[in-house]
Amino acid sequence: MTGAWDWLTTGANWSGASGVWARLLEHLWYTMLALAVAIVIAMPIGAAIGHTGRATGLVSGLANALRALPTLGLLILLALWGLSTFKGDIALLGPAITVLVILAIPPILSNTYAGIAAVDPAARDAAIGMGMTGREVLAKVELPVAMPLIMSGIRSAFLQVVATATIAAVVSLGGLGRYVIDGYNQQDYSKMVAGALLVAVLAIVGDRILALIGYFMISPGLTGRKVRARATTADMVVAIRQEGGSTVLEPANQAGARS
């Protein structure tokens, strides 16, 4: 550990094309690109299945199948195919991002489906009673209510991707994994440990940032925090009370105070 600390506190290791800052940006680029692509693919599928209740077996089947794929073997296979098919950076970057996307899809897909499927049927009925269409119910009620579980899936995917992005160095790409691979080849164990520590710190900091983003994305009526903004549609359909034979919708915090 002393050697790793010496390596991390050496200014020369932080500058230049192979310095920590450059490798950190590369690692973040791989991670965020893969995470964004996975969200675009997995969230609509999970939301559609959770909303309609159709093809529910697809979620568990697809998620389990993707989790079972050997990450390193798949990367090498796709890299060999990429080198024989494409030229330039895309020949290696494409396979690496593809593997990371495959790794990120299962938790996002599963949590999106589970979050929407678990929405209280009374909330859906209330939204429909307000004249909302199916798409409006999904966008304004189900997704906001399911957001805590969805964000949990995104955070889980981020942690898996940011840790696994180190294998990009196996196919001569950059990122923090470069220190682990090069350190092993050079028998420079201080560099290896330093690279592993940097990945761990990045994972922890990134997870905390996503948790903070999720805190402000989740509807105030679901978290119980007080805001001055007007209640969202999700807040309005959480609590339903009957008065004079008619249904009255109100924010959950007001309903709780009344009870």
102-122: average pLDDT? 91
pLDDT at 87 over 80: no
pLDDT at 249 over 60: no
- Kindly report each contact of residues 45-49 with a partner whose C-beta sits within 8 Å and lies 24 or more positions away, as own/partner: 45/109, 45/112, 46/108, 46/109, 46/110, 46/111, 46/112, 46/113, 46/116, 47/112, 47/113, 47/116, 47/138, 47/142, 47/143, 49/113
CATH 2.60.40.10 assigned to 2-218: no
Q: What is the pTM of this model?
A: 0.82
- Per-residue model confidence (pLDDT) at position 246: 43
Q: Which of 155, 166, 153 is nearest to 100 (CA)?
A: 166
The pLDDT confidence band at residue 225, using thresholds 50, 70 and 90, is low
Domain residue ranges in the chain: 2-218, 228-259
90 vs 151, higher pLDDT:
151
pLDDT at 257 over 90: no
CB burial readout 210-219, b (16+ within 10 A) else e: beeebeeebb
- Per-residue model confidence (pLDDT) at position 5: 87
Give the phi and the psi of residue 241 in degrees, each rounded to 5: -130, 155
162 vs 221, higher pLDDT:
162
d(Cα 97, Cα 237) in Å, to the nearest integer? 40
Contact assessment for residue 239 and residue 248, using Cβ atoms and an 8 Å cutoff: no
